[in-house]
């Protein structure tokens, strides 16, 4: 009988290892998949759902993306919330 592997959650520090690989050993993979390194390929409006207490994608990463989009003149909207909960989300543009 094969055991199923549990999918890590954002509260589990193994989430990024499971999704991408261990850091810093897989640093190149992280860089290749990071959206901040592909801003030049974006040409359409972008929406961000950012938890203020998100431990997987810290708010400063969204702020960097927004700054890059602003520099390119690409529209964006951010929904801020707490810990990935959309219950109290408020849009910012």
Per DSSP, the residues of 11-43 read TSTTHHHHHT--TTTTHHHHHHH-GGGGGGG--
Both tokens of residue 11?
């509260």
Residue 65: is it exposed, middle or buried by C-beta count within 10 angstroms (0-12/13-18/19+)?
buried
Judge whether residue 46 has pLDDT over 50.
yes
pLDDT in tens, 67-91: 999 999 999 998 876 555 444 555 5
Both tokens of residue 37?
């390194």
pTM: 0.66
């Amino acid at each position: 009988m094969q055991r199923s592997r549990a999918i890590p959650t954002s509260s589990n520090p193994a989430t990024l290892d499971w999704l991408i690989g261990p850091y810093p050993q897989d640093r190149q993979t992280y860089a290749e998949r990071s959206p901040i390194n592909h801003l030049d390929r974006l040409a359409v409006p972008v929406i961000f759902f950012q938890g203020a207490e998100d431990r997987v994608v810290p708010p400063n990463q969204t702020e960097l993306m927004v700054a890059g989009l602003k520099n390119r003149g690409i529209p964006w909207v951010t929904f801020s919330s707490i810990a990935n909960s959309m219950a109290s989300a408020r849009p910012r543009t």
